[in-house]
Amino acid sequence: MLTPQIFKANDIRGIVGTQWDLKGAQALGQAYGQLLNSPKIVLGRDMRLTSPEIRQAFIDGVTSVGVCVVDVGLASTDELWFASGRLDLPGVQITSSHNPSSYNGLKFCLPGAKPVTSGFLASLAESARAIDAGRAVACSADTGVVEHHDILPEYVSYLLTLVDCCNCRPLKVVVDAGNGMAGLTAPAVLERINVEVIGLYIDLDGHFPNHAPNPLEPQNLRDAQEAVRANNADLAFVFDGDADRVFVIDEQGQVVAPSAITAMIAVDELAKEPGGVIVVNTITSSAVTQIVEEHGGRVVQSKVGHTYMKALMASHNAIFGGEHSAHYYFRDFFGADTGMLAALHVLAVLGRADRPLSAVVRNFTRFVGSGEINSEVGDQAAAMSMVAEAFGGEAEVVWDDGVKIIGDDWWISLRPSNTEPLLRLNVEARDTDQMAALRDGVLGLISQA
């Protein structure tokens, strides 16, 4: 079973047993193996309850068409990107990122952790559904073999060559792994540097017994916020389920906007390579562009989504990229997104500073943002057109990624989700009152659609 709704813009994800099943996973493995021009792939999986059986079904499919598998076992998604880059193999990660425990999915990359294209994903969907429905037969005279490779030690060592944390002051950091894959990777990295770690929900548990693995939802940050204050910690990191994203909380227990982290890391990277390119998405704060240009860099804007971000990182040889959703991309990490490397950069910047994190990030914050607000809307196109007509006026209206309306010191972004049946609203303005007026005006309009 492979229902159409599991095929997203950047990956595959859906409810196991309802939207896809093991037979479908095997068909995906067969189709993936046939589409590749590679005799071997690298495969990782997260700790979700269904990941072991999906792993086996996918391996059965891949090897049945003569493709061999390097199995790295339990891994974060960025660990799988690293494995693809290090081994120069196409990669597949079994994960459903921040989704509830009933979900699972697949993320793909080409050799060197390069992104797959929308055309590749469309071909994969068509071929896999034909195999699953019995309309096509996948076969090979040879059967691929499976080898196992523990990539974690290499991943840890490589990350620590990219950021100098050796001359930093000691820091106390809370790490909330949310029972996800950061429970494997974060302790292995942080035990190698001068930080005291207070771990929350480090045990790998696909039931997610403590909170959902989605740091975009404020309620999933509260435990880390309380732990920072209770332990007088310098900061906290909250990872999503597959650990390719990280949210940062300051010493006061306040969430640091991902745009501020993007600007902070961009400045740090531009100090090493003046004039470099930084990639941001359409709903990154305008402050990032201002700050990057003030430090001699150049900004390139991408649609939201890791496939688009990675493609622009590669085509512009960008040194760094950041998204509002706390995905951070590094040229030195094969152009891929990694929550752990972003966390190391934050530790390095803070460790060199003689101020708390709240004071450090103040230099990178110039506007007030609404945060992402999701609404279920029946006619998404009509809602976006209504908002564009109401707020366009003399503002610039851009339809590259949903609709973005850009004023002199404010903007509104309204776009369909890549993974869920939602419209996502983001608003930024010079002050709180202006932001709230724009936000409430848009929400009032789309509630009528």
Distances (CA, A) of 138 to 30, 64, 108, 135: 6, 8, 20, 10
Query: SS3 of 104, please?
Result: strand
Give domain 172-251's CATH architecture.
3-Layer(aba) Sandwich (3.40)
41 - beta bridge partners?
69
What is the distance between the terminal CA atoms of the chain, rounded to a whole angstrom? 34
pLDDT at 218: 93
Per-residue tokens: 7? 């095929």
CB 279 within 8 A of CB 316: yes
With b for 16 or more beta-carbon neighbours within 10 A and e for fewer, the 344-360 pattern comes to: bbbbbbbbeeeeebeeb
pTM, rounded to two decimals? 0.92
pLDDT at 179: 98
CATH 3.30.310.50 residue ranges of the chain are 368-446
Does residue 384 have a pLDDT over 80?
Answer: yes
Per-residue tokens: 411? 């903007």
CB 239 within 8 A of CB 339: yes
Other Cβ atoms less than 10 A from the Cβ of 146: the count is 13
* CA atoms of 98 and 110, how far apart (whole Å): 23
Over residues 261-280, the pLDDT tens digits come to: 999 999 999 999 999 999 99
Per-residue tokens: 294? 């003030």
Least confident of 69-78, 114-123, 329-338: 114-123
Q: What is the mean pLDDT of residues 194-207?
A: 96
pLDDT at 118: 83
Catalytic residue flag (residue 97): yes
What one-letter code names the amino acid at 144? G
**Mean pLDDT estimate for the chain:** 94
Which pLDDT band holds residue 141 (cuts at 50, 70, 90)?
A: low
CATH 3.40.120.10 residue ranges of the chain are 4-153, 172-251, 258-362
pLDDT at 88: 97
Per-residue tokens: 104? 């699972």
Which pLDDT band holds residue 421 (cuts at 50, 70, 90)?
A: confident
CB 446 within 8 A of CB 423: yes
* CA atoms of 14 and 4, how far apart (whole Å): 10
DSSP 239-284: E-TTSSBEEEE-TTSPEEPHHHHHHHHHHHHHHHSTT-EEEEETTS
* CA atoms of 101 and 55, how far apart (whole Å): 16
Distances (CA, A) of 137 to 7, 127, 128, 132, 259: 21, 10, 10, 9, 48
Q: How many CA atoms lie within 13 A of 343 on its CB side?
A: 34
* CA atoms of 89 and 100, how far apart (whole Å): 30
* CA atoms of 321 and 329, how far apart (whole Å): 5
Percent of the chain with pLDDT over 90: 82
Per-residue tokens: 87? 């081994």
Backbone φ and ψ of 319, nearest 5°: -85, -25
The three-state (H, E, C) secondary structure of 374-396, written as one string: EECCCCHHHHHHHHHHHHHCCCE
Structure letter (DSSP) for residue 165: -
From 84, 97, 101, 370, active-site residue: 97
Does residue 107 have a pLDDT over 80?
Answer: yes
Q: How many CA atoms lie within 13 A of 297 on its CB side?
A: 30
CB 198 within 8 A of CB 231: yes
The reply to whether CATH 3.90.120.10 applies to domain 368-446 is no
For the 258-362 domain, the top CATH level (class) is: alpha beta
CATH fold for domain 4-153: Alpha-D-Glucose-1,6-Bisphosphate; Chain A, domain 3 (3.40.120)
Does residue 176 have a pLDDT over 90?
Answer: yes
Output 394 or 21, whichever has higher pLDDT: 21
